[in-house]
Structure 1
Amino acid sequence: SLNQMEDYLYRMNQVMTNTKLRGNWGEYQLDMLLSVYCGQNPSIYSMQYTLPNGKIADCAFHLPDTNKVLCIDSKFPMENYLNLQEDMDTYLRPFKMNMKKHIDDVANKYINIDTMPYALLFVPSEAIYQFVCAKCDDLFTYALQKHVMLVSPTTLVAEVMTLLSSTKDFYRTSHMEEIERNILLLQEDASRLVERSIKAEKTLETLATQFHAVSISAQKLSSRMTKMGEDE
């Protein structure tokens, strides 16, 4: 209904204009994407991960063969982006400053001795991310200098798939001896199963032959008894 649509638009406007709610929306989108592609798997990633320095990242990936984590934090610079639509000349510089502050925050909080030497800044808006790509390529240079990688919902998926592939490859490599041992055990089990099935088949054949012989003897005995009854 019209009232429901107006209520929905009002709620969305509240989310986009309220910094705290907008942050929650970014975290929700991040959690949703990761749960879809990684499942609810704490061995791969953790939401609201607390580092030893007390800083809390929106998410941390647990990488193979290391205790260091890869942190992801969601940032949603909406106000100045919306202002850009009205006045590009006035608000482009504040928008870039806003983004640089987000990059600095991620670099200072989530890159240290307990983490990987880089971190991800998740921009949960494809529109803002595409704008940065098209109009603010210097922000990517600045982010790389700070060892921060900017990702959107789409590019995050690509990053996640790469991490998952690396994790699976590491698992297979580190467990290769165990896998080979299990394969050999399966081969032995399969050989025993074939051997026992052949024996069982032979036993069934023997039983079938014996049952047939018993059946013939029973038929002969029945015929004789019938004949003896007729003779009397």
Structure 2
Amino acid sequence: MNMIDMSPIGLDITTMTSTVITVVVGVLALTILVLLMFSIRRAGQMRIEHEMETARREAAAEARLSEMLRMQSEMQGRITAMSEVFGNRQAELNQTINQRLDGMTHRIGATISEQTKSTHENLRRLQERLAIIDAAQNNIQSLAKDVVGLQAILSNKQTRGAFGQSRMETIVADGLPMGAYSFQPTLSNGYRPDCTIRMPNGAPPLVVDAKFPLEAWNSIREAGTPDLKKTAGQQFRRDIEVHIRDIAEKYLITGETQDMAFLFVPSESIFAEIHENFEGVVQKAHRQRVVIVSPSLLMLSIQVIQAVLKDQRMREQAHLIQGEVVHLMEDLARLDERTRKLQGHFLAAQRDVDMILTSADKLNKRGARIEAMEFEAAGETKEEPSETPSGKAVESRTGFLKLRVVDED
């Protein structure tokens, strides 16, 4: 292979390459310088614009600050005014609240006082009612004891009959005077009713029987089933019909007793239930002239008999009353005669008193004229009689004076 000498050409290429690189570097440097200058100018402009913007913003901020200060001062003024207004309103509100609180306190105090008084009054009434309740409870307890005793009494037939007769005797003895009734008398047929009551005008006495069949009645009350109750009711009806028939046969004696007799029932509740549930027994008793009476009806009948007896006694004593009336009229006639005589004495005394008053009037007139006497001078020589037959002129001379007294009757 042949070697070719390429040294100059290589040198030129190297030189050109260096020149180009130098030019490129210069261009780059110039470009960089231009860019740097543009950047510096742009930065200056931007700095100027920034400073202007900053100044503008500072001016706007100062304006805003001034506006805010003005608004703050206005706000402070408003706040001060509002504080004063709020202070005044608060004072007025406090005064109003205090007044209302005082009024409410006064009303609450008055209400509390009234409530206290009312509470004390209610407590007093409650205590009184509790005392009444305690007394009623004590009465109920004593009544329970009495009921237990009564139950013990009624459990025995003999004591039960004695209880009914004792109650009947108490009612009769309290309503009638002694001698108007008789207990356990003996009739002409040998029977002895529980009580006979004397009737007015000599009428036969009224018979009262107190033997009521309580055994059958207690059986009715103690019956637990309807069948037992029905059976006990039938037994009671038979017993009371037998007792009514015995009263009619034994105690209704013509001419010796009344044609009607009383069957005394010692309980108002039993009497009411008999009339409510055993109407047939009541009607049968009426047909046999036996009247079933309770304690209240017996008491009413006793009061009626007592009034009739009192009327009879008044009629029996009518002639004595008429004699006393005659004596009373005679005493009244004598009193009238003596009163008229006394009136005549009074009239005579009155005439004497009138004459005395007339004389006193004359004396008073005479004294008045003497008190009003006339005096004349001593040199007069008028002659007047010292005394006239009619007694109308009297003259008296003493020294230089003349006294004239005129007497007019």
**Shorter-chain TM-score: what band?**
0.7 to 0.9
1:180 to 306, 317, 322: 322
Cα deviation digits, residues 48-97 of structure 1 (max 9, x gap) = 22222222111111111225111101023222212212332121101111
Task: Give the structure 2 partner of residue 161 of structure 1.
Answer: 303
Matched, 1:106 2:244: no
Q: Secondary structure at the match of 2:197?
A: strand
Q: Which amino acid aligns with 1:33?
A: I
Q: Which amino acid aligns with 1:24?
A: A
Q: Trace 1:1-232 onto structure 2 (pairs within 5 A).
A: 8-38=146-176, 40-42=177-179, 44-87=180-223, 88-113=229-254, 114-192=256-334
Relative to structure 1, is the Cα distance of residues 86 and 18 closer, same or farther in structure 2, using a 3 angstrom cutoff? Answer: closer
User: Cα RMSD (Å) of the superposition?
Assistant: 2.9
Q: CA deviation at 1:137?
A: 0.8
Relative to structure 1, is the Cα distance of residues 200 and 16 closer, same or farther in structure 2, using a 3 angstrom cutoff? Answer: farther
Whole-angstrom distance in 1 between the partners of 2:341 and 2:161: 69
Q: Secondary structure at the match of 1:120?
A: strand
Runs of 4+ in 1 over 4 A off after TM superposition: 3-10, 190-202
Relative to structure 1, is the Cα distance of residues 141 and 16 closer, same or farther in structure 2, using a 3 angstrom cutoff? Answer: same
Unmatched tracts of structure 2, length 5 or more: 1-137, 224-228, 350-409
Say which one has the larger Rg: 2
Whole-angstrom distance in 1 between the partners of 2:291 and 2:144: 37
Q: CA deviation at 1:160?
A: 1.5
Whole-angstrom distance in 1 between the partners of 2:319 and 2:144: 61
Q: Higher relative contact order at CA 8 Å, sep ≥6: structure 1 or structure 2?
A: 1
Whole-angstrom distance in 1 between the partners of 2:219 and 2:188: 38
TM-score, normalised relative to structure 2: 0.44
TM-score, normalised relative to structure 1: 0.75
Given that 2:212 and 2:263 are in contact with CA atoms closer than 8 Å, whether structure 1 keeps it comes out as no
Whole-angstrom distance in 1 between the partners of 2:267 and 2:143: 22
Q: Secondary structure at the match of 1:121?
A: strand
Cα deviation digits, residues 145-176 of structure 1 (max 9, x gap) = 11111111011122112222222233333443
Relative to structure 1, is the Cα distance of residues 191 and 141 closer, same or farther in structure 2, using a 3 angstrom cutoff? Answer: same
Q: Which amino acid aligns with 1:14?
A: A
Whole-angstrom distance in 2 between the partners of 1:53 and 1:185: 51
Cα deviation digits, residues 92-125 of structure 1 (max 9, x gap) = 1011111112211211111002111111111111
Q: Secondary structure at the match of 2:217?
A: helix
Q: Secondary structure at the match of 2:212?
A: coil
Q: Which amino acid aligns with 2:178?
A: N
